[in-house]
């Protein structure tokens, strides 16, 4: 069977599974809709968290970025894995003990202020919409190639699927759907990795193949460095970014992880604090499978791509090139009319433009793997994008229905009415997310990196100070979140989106301290900390009962009791 037939079969079966789970686990109450009833097992929650966490950025785009950035792409690996450890150990158990299942709810109660809650809702919506734009873009990329529709149509199809199971099942439907999606995405990521590692290095484990010799006796990375030098690119294993920018991006990704609302809510879907810790451990182990494989996939894909297309006759290129060319994600312009593909670093003579987001998806085709493997990767990419998109849409709907309407404007509305508003908010959120998916501000992973920066600059200081600083008050938290978010939005709008100032001057040379927009969230976070602490020192201390709650969530139950003999 051809690729498209296999894709219809495998993607169709996976979608039928997701929709079936959504119908089976339909939410009947707001507790089901928000936290899956609080009764999910640690292993299932760990798998769902891993799927929620490993978005289109992880599955589709991260390896693509590393393929083109080489050593510099390691910031995504370090930041996202380190960030999860930070979240699991430093924040999740305390937030779970506090008992509030959304970040705005925690901030509203901890800082005894509806104003603080509203600011947190705005921050959650900004972060979630920025993040979900990357997921919808990923869905569009997959559909555009494998179902042979344009990217915009692909985004609309993805919107319809997510809306169905997110709105029908809420967190309960999303959780069990994400368990299935984790199985699909990890299988789809690893199967071609095993195949290509054996093909290129005679080593079954891609993590070992990454450092092994290829069939011509050269180490894979040495070979890739040599190919890069021949084409004028920087060596794959050498870094071009400044150490400061690498540090700032890594820190923004790590700290942003700890402030991501759709991951934090996962720790409320299990019965106990102990289960929250255990599910975090399971999730980290499952995430590591993909993240330790991604560098190998990147090197395999980059090597195969260069050897397949560079200086080859355009008319003799394999079928996969023409298939991707139809999507517009690969473009060839024969500048010197010699019929050969000149793929070089020099922009004046380079004839090939490649969208980084296609590298993982195209990799099995480039390596001439069986058609069912190629279709499996398409299903995996969709599973990764849709799982995270669903979690983010739930955050948006919860922020509107629970934190804004229920907590502030309509405190006496019924459970049934709150559920209705949550579903209406999901509908609006899906439509806005689709718009951003059709008009994204960059590659999937770079868009997602901006979301992490916004989370770092807005939520992290308010959460960490709320847990570990009894003196932190509402005035400091509100001012810090507002200032941190606004300055980060300004920087991104100017230097990434070019919405502010003269576009011609908004170049890398004009970055403040040489820090890229992806790393500026760290600066926003530091400014947030300073503003929060300074203002809290010049304004009244929190009420005694709030300080007592903060003391209680940091001390394990039974601590300090005498040991009975």
The tokens of 219 are what?
């180490």
DSSP, collapsed to helix, strand or coil, labels residue 219 as strand
Could you tell me if residue 247 is inside a domain?
Answer: yes
Q: What is the pLDDT of residues 444-487, one digit of tens each?
A: 555 667 777 888 888 889 888 988 888 899 999 999 999 998 99
> Domain total for the chain?
1
The pLDDT of residue 563 is 40
Token pair listed for 93: 């158990």
| 429 closest CA partner among 382, 395, 455 | 395
Segment 98-113 shows an average pLDDT of 79
Q: Is residue 248 part of a domain?
A: yes
| Residue 356 located in a structural domain | yes
More confident residue, 257 or 442: 257
More confident residue, 553 or 294: 294
**Rounded to whole angstroms, what are the CA distances from 501 to 53, 428, 442, 490, 505?**
35, 31, 19, 10, 8
Sign of CA dihedral 156, 162, 164, 167: negative
Asked, for residue 120, whether it belongs to a domain, the answer is yes
pLDDT digits (tens, 9 = 90+) for 490-540: 888 888 766 666 554 556 677 888 888 888 989 999 999 999 999 999 999
Q: Hey, CA dihedral for 268, 519, 80, 429, is it positive or negative? A: positive
Residue 161 lies in a domain: yes
pLDDT band at 405 (very low <50, low <70, confident <90, very high): confident
Q: Which domain holds residue 259?
A: 3-553
373: domain CATH number is 1.20.1730.10
Angstrom distance (rounded) from CA 448 to CA 75: 13
Asked whether residue 564 is assigned to any structural domain, the reply reads no
Is 559 inside any structural domain? no
């Amino acid at each position: 069977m051809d690729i498209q037939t296999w894709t219809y079969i495998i993607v169709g079966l996976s979608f039928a599974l997701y929709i079936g789970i959504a119908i089976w686990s339909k939410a009947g109450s707001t507790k089901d809709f928000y936290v899956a009833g609080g009764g999910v097992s640690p292993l299932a929650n760990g798998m769902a968290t891993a799927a929620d966490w490993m978005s289109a950025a992880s599955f589709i785009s991260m390896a693509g970025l590393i393929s083109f950035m080489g050593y510099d792409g390691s910031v995504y690996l370090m930041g996202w894995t380190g960030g999860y450890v930070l979240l699991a150990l430093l924040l999740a158990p305390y937030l779970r003990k506090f008992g509030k299942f959304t970040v705005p709810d925690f901030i509203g109660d901890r800082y005894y202020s509806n104003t603080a809650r509203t600011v947190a809702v705005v921050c959650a919506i900004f972060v979630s919409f920025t993040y979900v734009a990357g997921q919808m873009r990923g869905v569009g990329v997959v559909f555009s190639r494998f179902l042979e529709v344009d990217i915009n149509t692909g985004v609309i199809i993805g919107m319809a699927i997510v809306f169905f199971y997110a709105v029908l099942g809420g967190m309960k439907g999303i959780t069990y759907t994400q368990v299935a999606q984790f199985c699909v995405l990890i299988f789809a990521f690893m199967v071609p990795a095993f195949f290509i590692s054996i093909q290129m290095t005679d080593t079954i484990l891609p993590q070992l193949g990454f450092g092994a010799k290829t069939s011509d006796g050269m180490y894979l990375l040495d070979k890739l460095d040599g190919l890069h030098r021949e084409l004028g690119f920087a060596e794959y294993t050498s870094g071009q970014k400044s150490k400061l920018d690498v540090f700032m991006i890594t820190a923004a990704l790590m700290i942003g992880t700890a402030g991501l609302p759709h991951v934090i809510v996962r720790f409320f879907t299990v019965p106990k604090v102990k289960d929250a810790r255990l599910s975090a451990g399971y999730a980290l182990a499952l995430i590591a499978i993909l993240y330790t494989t991604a560098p190998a996939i990147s090197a395999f894909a980059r090597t195969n791509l260069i050897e397949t297309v560079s200086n080859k006759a355009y008319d003799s290129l394999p079928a996969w090139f023409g298939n991707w060319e139809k999507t517009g994600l690969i473009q060839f312009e024969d500048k010197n009319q010699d019929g050969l593909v000149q793929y070089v670093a020099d922009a004046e003579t380079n004839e090939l433009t490649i969208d980084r987001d296609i590298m993982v998806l195209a990799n099995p085709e480039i390596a001439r793997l069986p058609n069912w493997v190629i279709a499996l990767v398409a299903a995996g990419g969709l599973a990764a994008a849709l799982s995270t998109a669903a979690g983010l849409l739930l955050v948006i709907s919860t922020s509107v229905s629970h934190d804004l309407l229920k907590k502030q404007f309509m405190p006496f509305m019924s459970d049934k009415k709150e559920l209705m508003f949550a579903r209406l908010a999901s509908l609006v959120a899906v439509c806005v997310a689709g718009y951003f998916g059709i008009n994204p501000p960059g590659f999937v992973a770079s868009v997602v990196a901006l979301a992490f920066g916004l989370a770092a600059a807005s939520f992290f200081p308010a959460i960490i100070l709320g847990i570990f600083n009894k003196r932190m008050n509402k005035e400091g938290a509100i001012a810090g979140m507002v200032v941190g978010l606004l300055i980060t939005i300004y920087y991104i709008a100017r230097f990434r989106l070019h919405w502010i100032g003269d576009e011609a001057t908004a170049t890398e040379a004009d970055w403040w301290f040489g820090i890229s927009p992806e790393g500026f969230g760290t600066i926003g976070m530091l400014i947030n900390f300073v503003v929060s602490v300074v203002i809290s020192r010049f304004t009244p201390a929190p009420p005694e009962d709030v300080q007592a709650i903060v003391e209680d969530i940091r001390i394990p139950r039974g601590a300090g009791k005498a040991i009975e003999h």
